[in-house]
A and B are shown apart, each in its own frame.
Chain A
């Protein structure tokens, strides 16, 4: 039994609790980030940011920070989804698209928010209160 406990202890990873942002009361909020990479894809398929925005991809670590830079939430990006960039029907399958990421975070109320993905430059998130019951954080790149 002692041996099993010792082996289990030796194999366990480092504690991660200290990596987490300080727990604070918060509310679930949707986040929508539009990457205007203008890449040719079918509409509605999984995507990552194209070209210089390739760091925005599924499983990329992100952090939501307040305006002062304090971490409020962490996670990993889901896959993006390609959305039509131009309203015209071009009559082909692969059309100019943007890549949009949609996910949820639990964050306390702050005056400003930023999204940092994989240590890249922060992306400002605006609070959209079109639906007062379900405000969302919206970012646009570039």
Chain B
């Protein structure tokens, strides 16, 4: 086999590999759900009069159903309400994505996307490196349950499903970290 034959063989194999490789999973889908919670996760108890958070089951971007109470049964949860067209969401998103990676498996972030188109949402999640699960709230029922009238908004929920605080208009990552320190993690 001469050099030209080798070249053709290598190119053919490369093309075959490119044609048979699986497309990457959509951002925000089931593969982003958190792993087991750390056994030594120490948390501040929520205020006794903190109200219960509305539970819901809704599909992630790839159709995987997720139930909020199953997430907060093990660890605190941060909901980030977002839309791909929302400029304030985009301004806050990169740092929130990084904060979510920092706390992965200790505090789970869950995006709740509404009033959006699938392609535009996928592009937004990729552009802003959103590695956490994202619910598609097609009928805006979760938005209404949490009184979200316009994105962005952030809601913090304790491990046992109590509403700790919410921020209409969203929250920058350093401020959210400060709130986690004050309301969730022991001093």
- A residues neighboring B (CB under 8 Å): 37, 39-42, 45-51, 54-55, 57-60, 79, 94
Contacts and interface: CB of A to CB of B under 8 A. Distances in A.
Nearest to B83: A57
Given A46-B88, A58-B87, A60-B85, A41 B115 contact: no
A57 B43 CA distance: 39
Which of under 10, 10 to 19, 20 to 34, or 35 or more describes the interface residues of B?
A: 10 to 19
Does more than half of chain B's interface fall in helix, strand or loop, or is it mixed?
loop
Given A48-B150, A94-B168, 11 more contacts: A37-B150, A40-B168, A48-B151, A50-B149, A50-B150, A54-B115, A54-B150, A57-B83, A58-B85, A59-B85, A60-B85
B26 interface: no
A50 B151 CA distance: 9
Kindly name the residue among A39, A54, A55 whose own CB sees the greatest number of chain B CB atoms within 10 A.
A54
Contacts of A46: 87-88
A45 B86 CA distance: 12
Interface in B107-141: 114-115, 120, 140
B88 A57 contact: no
Contact of B149 (A42, A45, A51): A51
Nearest to A46: B87
Nearest to B88: A46
